[in-house]
Amino acid sequence: MEYNSIQYLRAVAALSVVADHLSIQFSRIGSPIGFTDLLAAGVDLFFVISGFIMFVTTKDSDVTPVQFYKKRIVRIVPLYWFFTSIMVVAALAAPRLLGSGKFDLAHIVSSYLFLPYPHPVVDAIYPVLVPGWTLNYEMYFYAIFGMALLLPAKARLWSVGAVLVSLSALGGLFSPNNAALEFWTDAIILEFLFGMIIAAALTNDRIRLSRAPAWGLIALGVLMLFIPYSASVGLSRAWFFGVPTALVLAGFVMLDRLGDIGRWRVPKLLGDASYSIYLSHGMTLSALTQVWKKLDLGGDLPAIAFFVTIGMAASTCIGIAVYFTIERPMTRLFAGTRRIRPVHA
């Protein structure tokens, strides 16, 4: 079964991240206005979706780890390396544009290999292409999930779950000082497990579904996202973003299985292009901010409204253009096919 809701939620996740990163630009154009932190939950929704999709697409197949890894590499690596290379060239040619005159070879190599490494300028574990930190987690999850494909289908959820829970527990107990260990044991990895659990529970034909619980889960998830951030201090985002987005996903999957989610062209297109939107939007927003400052357009409320409108529209349109002109052709090339269906994970 094709889940239309998953594509639509991928669009929501990507556009939420764009909006969140737009708010980061506000201070750079002289505005005191800011958005709510809940927009950052788009990343967590991506992780939950990924866990769901990986489980659903492999549960009734005999895919081997090698076949699985090949598909994931074809899906993730080419476009990410493309944008990472643009950033590396920009860092060499015009370092001031990136706010750093440093050329950290270890950081660059780690970025290409999806290995967590401290950013030479930003005090965080970010790759050269900053949004790529989420892909480091994605590839980490794929590495674990792929090995579970050696096990019987019924054992995969429990084996992957045991690994992710154990790693998260170790991180919570010992708080490792090593950057890589800190990254790999963060509780955020549990969000992939949330998606797998939803897939295992709701794609079972023996489970009776109804609309009232589905809408109840969606409403509860949305309400939980509005819990003040201050109330969640000390908790991993897996709990104050991951759990609510998992509930929303579960509700929409239930509606999908009940036949209540139609196939709508524009949301589907945005879902198809979500990966391109996600990887390209940082450059789009950075360029927009530079032009805005150059023209001295200000940061009052009307200016911010205009800035947000242009930023969202430009990020979306450029992302869609990247999808058609770069992502799809590259995916076809490396997959060895002339035509390929849109990738849903």
Task: Round to whole Å and give the CA distance between 61 and 70.
Answer: 15
Indicate whether 148 belongs to any domain. yes
Query: Quick one: pLDDT band at residue 343, thresholds 50, 70, 90?
Result: very low
Domain interval for residue 242: 4-335
Query: Quick one: pLDDT band at residue 306, thresholds 50, 70, 90?
Result: very high
| Residue 173 burial class via C-beta count within 10 angstroms: exposed 0-12, middle 13-18, buried 19 and up | exposed
Indicate whether 164 belongs to any domain. yes
Q: Are the beta carbons of 271 and 8 closer than 8 angstroms?
A: yes
Which of the pair, 232 or 69, is modelled with greater confidence? 69
Q: 101 φ, ψ to 5°?
A: -100, 5
Task: Round to whole Å and give the CA distance between 344 and 247.
Answer: 20
Indicate whether 343 belongs to any domain. no
What's the pLDDT at 229? 61
Alpha-helix residue ranges (DSSP H) falling in the chain: 4-26, 41-58, 65-93, 105-112, 133-148, 153-174, 179-184, 190-202, 211-225, 237, 243-257, 265-272, 274-295, 301-322, 328-335
Specify the number of domains making up the chain.
Answer: 1
**DSSP state for residue 210 in the 8-state scheme:** -
Task: Round to whole Å and give the CA distance between 247 and 39.
Answer: 16
Query: Quick one: pLDDT band at residue 295, thresholds 50, 70, 90?
Result: very high
What's the pLDDT at 233? 62
Tell me what the mean pLDDT of segment 269-298 comes to: 94
Residue 297 scores a pLDDT above 70:
yes
Which of the pair, 93 or 188, is modelled with greater confidence? 188
Report if pTM > 0.75.
Answer: yes
Q: Are the beta carbons of 194 and 246 closer than 8 angstroms?
A: yes
Which of 90-94, 265-269, 325-329 bottoms out in mean pLDDT, i.e. has the lowest?
90-94
Indicate whether 344 belongs to any domain. no
> Which pair of structure tokens corresponds to residue 235?
């908790």
How many other CB atoms are there within 10 angstroms of residue 64's CB atom? 12
Residue 340 scores a pLDDT above 60:
no
Q: What is the dihedral of CA 236, 241, 244, 247, to 10 degrees?
A: -90
Q: What is the dihedral of CA 79, 83, 86, 92, to 10 degrees?
A: -120
Task: Round to whole Å and give the CA distance between 132 and 117.
Answer: 12
Residue 299 scores a pLDDT above 90:
no
Task: Round to whole Å and give the CA distance between 284 and 87.
Answer: 13
What's the pLDDT at 326? 98
Which of the pair, 164 or 176, is modelled with greater confidence? 164
Indicate whether 340 belongs to any domain. no
What's the pLDDT at 227? 80
Indicate whether 142 belongs to any domain. yes
| Three-point CA angle 90, 94, 99, nearest 5° | 90
Indicate whether 155 belongs to any domain. yes
Tell me what the mean pLDDT of segment 16-34 comes to: 87
Q: Are the beta carbons of 75 and 331 closer than 8 angstroms?
A: yes
The amino acid that residue 194 corresponds to is F
What's the pLDDT at 327? 98
**DSSP state for residue 209 in the 8-state scheme:** -
Indicate whether 345 belongs to any domain. no
Tell me what the mean pLDDT of segment 294-318 comes to: 93
Nearest to 266 by CA among 2, 1, 4: 4
| Residue 106 burial class via C-beta count within 10 angstroms: exposed 0-12, middle 13-18, buried 19 and up | exposed
pLDDT tens figures, 38-65:
889 999 999 999 999 999 999 988 999 9
Q: Are the beta carbons of 192 and 141 closer than 8 angstroms?
A: yes
